[in-house]
Structure formats: structure tokens, C-alpha cells
Amino acid sequence: MAKEIERKYLVVSDSYRRMACGSRKILQAYLNRDPRATVRVRIADDRAYLTVKGRNEGAVRDEWEYEIPVEDSLHMIERCASGTVIEKTRWLVDFGGRRWEIDEFGGLRSGLVVAEVELPSAEAEVELPPFVGEEVTGDERYYNSSL
């Protein structure tokens, strides 16, 4: 069983764009939003994934992710999604020896920008890049499944 350990922050400037080493377009939807087991389907550029995440315990939670055919993911989004589909651009920034993922949301969530960093342990130190502000790790309002 895999563990996802990440911290999440609100973004206060667009300086991440100049720092980015890449970006990708993401379309995702939730098939189940129960906090005990959220189920998400995501298309990132030309690849698709089905992901199951367990309940958060601070910055840690169980996670299982499987690559699936893009065509299947489109059918799941069309036929099985609960709530609205999330559109975002994910910017990738290397800073302080870590890979940061900055999500610029579009559509109904346009204007929301959140940065996440995955960690090897919940106690790992994090050097914050200049574009991050308030930490929102564990704040359910900023879970993608809540958006």
C-alpha cells in the first residue's frame, strides 16, 4: 500500500510561472467523494489514471493509482462523475531539493491557485518557495474532492 505525504499551500504570486520546468493540462472528476475512500479519474495531457485515496491523517493518507485507457476515463467522467469536472493547469517547479506542483484552477474555480509538495515523511523539513503563503494542509476546503 502506498502512502501520500504532502503539504499544501495557497499561492500568493505568479512567480512560479517563471520558475517552472514544465506544465500539463489536467481534467479530473470524482466518482466517489466519501472521505474514507475518494475515487478520482484524471486525464493529464495524453495519459489517464484512476486513483483511490484514504482518509487524511494530517499530511498522510493511503493512495493507490493505476494508469487506465484515456477512452475509459472519458466515459467514466461522462457517465459516473459526481459534482463538476475540475479543469486545471499544473505547473512543475523544482525548489529546495523538492518538486512542487502548482495547480491553477479554471472554470468555476478560476483564480484559485494551490501549491503542493510531496514529502518522504510527515516530519520532513520544507524550504518554502517565494510564491507560497498560508499553509492549508488538512483544510478540507482545499481538497480537490471538495472543490
Q: Which residues are known catalytic residues?
A: 30
The helix (run of H) or strand (run of E) holding residue 76 is: helix 70-80
Pairing of strands 98-105, 113-118: antiparallel
Q: Decide: helix, strand or coil at residue 71.
A: helix
Query: Virtual CA dihedral for 79, 34, 145, 128, nearest 10 degrees?
Result: -150
Long-range contacts at 48-51 (CB < 8 A, ≥ 24 apart): 48/72, 48/73, 48/74, 49/73, 50/76
